[in-house]
Amino acid sequence: MSDSSNVIHEDAMQWTEASQGKFRYRRKSFTRALGARLLGFSLYEVPPGASAFPSHFHCANEEALYVLEGEGTLRLGDKEIALRKGHFVTLPPGAGNAHRLVNSSDKPLKYICVSTAVLPDVIVYPDSDKIRSFRRSNFGRTGPQADVDVQAVGGCRLLRGRARRVMFFAAWRKRIGILHA
């Protein structure tokens, strides 16, 4: 750590690991370490042939990626784009920006992912026809509140019924005590 509670060096942080089939990564969450509320900032390392996450898009949050080392293939909608060290990618909310980054090389792919922390958010996984909603941030803090208008966010209108039901049932479950904050 440093002399300030909002400064940290990467060497002071431990990697966390996740693995589920072809989705594998190591991660250092700077956001969690420093208690940021409005931004997510993580360093990812993905082994050859793997992805950190399945194809997905957000209805409220924007993400950005910056490749530090290695090479990968970004699936963005129906396009495949080769990425390497120095590439920067922005991923605004909406179905047109559904994305998945695959390490297509024989060396680890290392990149930074930055995201906004607007809540609630609905994340859509188009390949598996699943959705996930967040009322709280992944790092355990309540972020800036926003009404996600699933009809207004580009691409989320495809999910009008399902996304509304997810948010409704989450609120209902919390009200009767099934879902804990």
Report pLDDT digits (tens) over 129-168. Answer: 888 887 765 544 444 444 444 434 444 544 444 444 444 4
Report pLDDT digits (tens) over 170-180. Answer: 444 444 444 44
- The partner residues of 19 in beta bridges, in order of sequence, read 24
Between 134 and 22, residue with greater pLDDT: 22
Would you say residue 21 lies in a domain? yes
Q: How many domains does the chain have?
A: 1
Would you say residue 180 lies in a domain? no
Would you say residue 3 lies in a domain? no
Would you say residue 47 lies in a domain? yes
Structural domain that includes position 87:
10-175
State both tokens at 181.
């904050």
Specify the CATH number for the domain of residue 88. 2.60.120.10
Q: What are phi and psi of 178, to 5 degrees?
A: -80, -35
- The partner residues of 138 in beta bridges, in order of sequence, read none
Report pLDDT digits (tens) over 88-103. Answer: 999 999 999 999 999 9
Handedness of CA 21, 137, 99, 160 (dihedral sign): positive
pLDDT of 148: 45
